[in-house]
Structure 1
Amino acid sequence: MVLGSDSTESTGHTPQGRDAAMDRTLTALYGGARSPGGRAPGERAAGLGASAPAAARWLGDIRTYFPGPVVQVMQRDAIERLGLAALLLEPEMLDAVEADVHLVGTLLQLGGAMPETTRESARAVVRKVVDDLERRLANRTRTTLAGALDRSARTGRPRPRDIDWNRTVRANLRNHVPLPGDEGAGTVVPERLVGYARSGRAVRKEVVLCVDQSGSMAASVVHAAVFGAVLASMRSLDTRLIVFDTAVVDLTDQIDDPVDVLFGTRLGGGTDIDRALAYCQSRLTRPADTVVVLISDLYEGGIRDRMVRRVAAMKESGVEFVALLALSDEGAPAYDRDHAAALAALGVPAFACTPDLFPEVMAAALEKRPLPVPEG
């Protein structure tokens, strides 16, 4: 590299002008600083300073010199390496950051310590990220699920374009008529048609999103809040949103506004999955028409075996159960492999799901067909 804390020593080149400014921003973050403004003895490191103004200037600099995705990576590194999270409690800092899902997760973890002077700025940052996600995900989700809801309702008097020919042929195999002179060949007379009924305005399916709000699940909580609002906007779905750690909170009354949902969460703490599922189970009214989506890394702080037994009981009652280790673009987190294997033995594969795949997963669950589990 020609930029960074060791660039002059390693290349003999001294950056000038814009390169020098970029070099300073990189050195402030990666040049050995141990805390905001601190450095190891003898190390060349500018640091970010111990104040919000210094950090805000640095955030402005990286947005000037680097593209958005790089800025987001550098912000995350600054939060982890230099203790930048504490400075996010200052409004001027929030005005300088590049908003993304990871930043929202950090803000939510700081929620309890956030002063009132910062709270409105934080809500504005969260609102921006939520609105961007809704624009990207909402239309495709509604379209995909509307089609699944249409197909999930069968009728014996379908319109021609709604005939399910595979099911119709199977239903009429006894009406096979052989063709003269061509042994083994023939045709099926479709005395009974099977097809899809178009959905009306009535609620026909129930969805329960049960979301682990432990600290490692921050990005998943953000996406779940957005998808919860999208699902709640569909008239043929009755959607509930439950978040949990060792306690259980029903946020269904706030589901229309993901920002309210997110500020109603409490990231961090322990996990009691069984207690959360017990609450969900107690709210089921039509198990055979219900999809329960558990979003959790499956690390159980409650009674381990009872959680698995509860999932088995819900499935036996007719519930379509989905287990997602994460709902984010970050891939699979660390997770409890024993619990994942136990769920798989019940016919519930546990896997990490990207936001782009989630509509397809929900469509498959609503139609009670195999889930599109990613390979690997």
Structure 2
Amino acid sequence: MSDQERERRWRLAVGGEEEALADPDRRLSTALTALYGDGDDTKKRGRGGLGRSAPSVATWMGDIRRYFPAPVVQIVQRDAFERLGLKQMLLEPEFLAVVEADVNLVADLVTLRSVMPEKTKAIAREVIGKVVAALMERLERRTAEALRGAANRARRTSRPRFADIDWPRTIQANLHHYQPDLRTVVPQRLVGFQRRQRRLVDLDEVVLCVDQSGSMATSVVYASIFSAVMASLPVVTTRLVCFDTAVLDLTDELADPVEVLFGVQLGGGTDIAQAVDYCAQRIERPTKSHLILISDLYEGGSRDALLARLATLVAVGVNVIVLLALSDSGRPSFDAALAAEVATLGAPVFACTPDQFPDLMAAALRREDVQAWAAQADIKVVRAAGE
């Protein structure tokens, strides 16, 4: 062992001031202190344990997986499960009746599920199901309405289906049929959009490629829900691929978003290039495909390989969009240098909230200028390198 490595380990062992440590040692020290630091030490350092102001369970557990071997990770996970009070909380029957729909809670439970007893795991699944149901209710209708891409807005018909009626134009065209006694317009002629009969082979394909490292925990939850919603619509085909250093294709599980969440493994390293390569190999019709890469772009694999693969996809006509986060929180942490290089390839790079995502996908499916859409939505887009 070199003198430099010996000094590094000694600094970590004695718990020196984190400001004196280099990253990633600072992140490692923060993760351990958040779980094992005593109260006085925590107060002196300005932290309050594992409350909402501290790093999320999924984020710091991701750091633990990154820096420690599997046996040590299991020990830390068990300690976290006990020290967070999640075990006792989940065993209380009253908890299910009062729990709020919180995406952060889902991320925490998914992160710790591998160390839960079977009884607790069953209750956790109920909690996750309740949260997912609330989120689906919030997001499903708007997503479905935004993605009605089967309606051809360029062509009109006087015999539209009910869902395709253009009500403002219909009312305008029938104002002379106003009935004073009924105080309403009785339309004699409907105006609507002509629905195209689309075969499966004609449908656009959306591939959500989602980074499941700890820092992306809430993005994974939202991406899973949106994937399930989109998979239920007959207007697009949808694939969900999650990754860390391995690639997990969850497309076959999209009928059950809770099952999808129990299939992901939050935390660990990141190999974005490998995941993008996996998705690229399954894209058969580039000009009808949309790759939505959801990642903070902290690449643990080959940056050059990632940029080369993304450049190829853009060149053959794939609509590549990079979301640095899909969450309700503010501006995320991300690799700014790599983000700028990706933007140079012609792929828009920005963060997006769940409420903005349906409109984003509608713009993408219409092949509109996503950069212009983002500007109208007051979203700050990462500029290309050199701009």
Instruction: Give the TM-score range, shorter chain.
Output: 0.5 to 0.7
| Secondary structure class of the residue paired with 1:89 | helix
8 Å contact from structure 1 (residues 85, 106) kept in 2: no
- Report the alpha carbon displacement of residue 39 of structure 1 after superposing the two structures with TM: 4.5
Alignment match, 1:326: 325
Distance in 1 between residues matched to 2:51 and 2:340, nearest whole Å = 36
Alignment match, 1:88: 86
Q: Is 1:242 paired with 2:246?
A: no
| Secondary structure class of the residue paired with 1:271 | coil
Question: What are the ranges of 5 or more consecutive residues in structure 1 without an aligned counterpart?
Answer: 1-33, 44-72, 163-194
**Paired residue for 1:118, among 111, 117, 120?**
120
Q: In the superposition, relative to structure 1, how do residues 350 and 79 fare at CA in structure 2: closer, same or farther (>3 Å)?
A: closer
Moved more, 195-204 or 323-332: 195-204
8 Å contact from structure 1 (residues 274, 302) kept in 2: yes
Q: Is 1:215 paired with 2:214?
A: yes
Distance in 1 between residues matched to 2:306 and 2:221, nearest whole Å = 25
Alignment match, 1:139: 141
Distance in 2 between residues matched to 1:197 and 1:315, nearest whole Å = 31
Q: In the superposition, relative to structure 1, how do residues 200 and 316 fare at CA in structure 2: closer, same or farther (>3 Å)?
A: same
- Report the alpha carbon displacement of residue 339 of structure 1 after superposing the two structures with TM: 1.4
| Secondary structure class of the residue paired with 1:225 | helix
- Report the alpha carbon displacement of residue 272 of structure 1 after superposing the two structures with TM: 0.4
Deviations for 1:71-100, whole angstroms, at most 9, x for unmatched residues?
xx9667697799676421343258535441
- Report the alpha carbon displacement of residue 150 of structure 1 after superposing the two structures with TM: 2.6
Distance in 2 between residues matched to 1:345 and 1:85, nearest whole Å = 46
Q: Is 1:266 paired with 2:270?
A: no
Deviations for 1:78-126, whole angstroms, at most 9, x for unmatched residues?
9779967642134325853544100111111112212212111110111
8 Å contact from structure 1 (residues 211, 221) kept in 2: yes
Q: In the superposition, relative to structure 1, how do residues 197 and 263 fare at CA in structure 2: closer, same or farther (>3 Å)?
A: same
- The one-letter code of the counterpart of 2:102 is D
| Secondary structure class of the residue paired with 2:339 | helix
Alignment match, 1:298: 297
| Secondary structure class of the residue paired with 2:87 | coil
Q: In the superposition, relative to structure 1, how do residues 344 and 75 fare at CA in structure 2: closer, same or farther (>3 Å)?
A: closer
Distance in 2 between residues matched to 1:40 and 1:314, nearest whole Å = 53
| Secondary structure class of the residue paired with 2:280 | helix
Q: How does 1:249-260 map to 2 (within 5 A)?
A: 249-260=248-259
8 Å contact from structure 1 (residues 208, 240) kept in 2: yes
Distance in 2 between residues matched to 1:217 and 1:375, nearest whole Å = 19
Which entry has the higher C-alpha Rg, 1 or 2?
1
Distance in 1 between residues matched to 2:360 and 2:106, nearest whole Å = 25
- Report the alpha carbon displacement of residue 230 of structure 1 after superposing the two structures with TM: 0.5
Deviations for 1:112-167, whole angstroms, at most 9, x for unmatched residues?
21221211111011111110111011011111110x44348x67xx54899xxxxx
Q: How does 1:1-376 map to 2 (within 5 A)?
A: 39-40=39-40, 86-90=84-88, 91-92=90-91, 95-96=94-95, 97-146=99-148, 148-151=149-152, 159=157, 198-200=195-197, 202-203=199-200, 204-371=203-370, 372-373=373-374, 374-376=378-380
Deviations for 1:289-312, whole angstroms, at most 9, x for unmatched residues?
111110000111111011011111
8 Å contact from structure 1 (residues 199, 236) kept in 2: no
- Report the alpha carbon displacement of residue 198 of structure 1 after superposing the two structures with TM: 2.1
Q: In the superposition, relative to structure 1, how do residues 98 and 359 fare at CA in structure 2: closer, same or farther (>3 Å)?
A: closer
Distance in 2 between residues matched to 1:202 and 1:334, nearest whole Å = 41
| Secondary structure class of the residue paired with 1:242 | strand
| Count of aligned pairs | 279
Distance in 2 between residues matched to 1:107 and 1:352, nearest whole Å = 24
- The one-letter code of the counterpart of 1:132 is A
8 Å contact from structure 2 (residues 320, 348) kept in 1: no
Instruction: Give TM-score scaled by structure 1 length.
Output: 0.67
Question: What are the ranges of 5 or more consecutive residues in structure 2 without an aligned counterpart?
Answer: 1-33, 44-49, 61-78, 161-191, 381-387
8 Å contact from structure 1 (residues 217, 326) kept in 2: yes
Distance in 2 between residues matched to 1:248 and 1:139, nearest whole Å = 30
Alignment match, 2:171: none
8 Å contact from structure 1 (residues 87, 93) kept in 2: no
- The one-letter code of the counterpart of 2:333 is A
Alignment match, 1:52: none
8 Å contact from structure 1 (residues 201, 235) kept in 2: no
Distance in 2 between residues matched to 1:78 and 1:352, nearest whole Å = 20
8 Å contact from structure 1 (residues 209, 294) kept in 2: yes
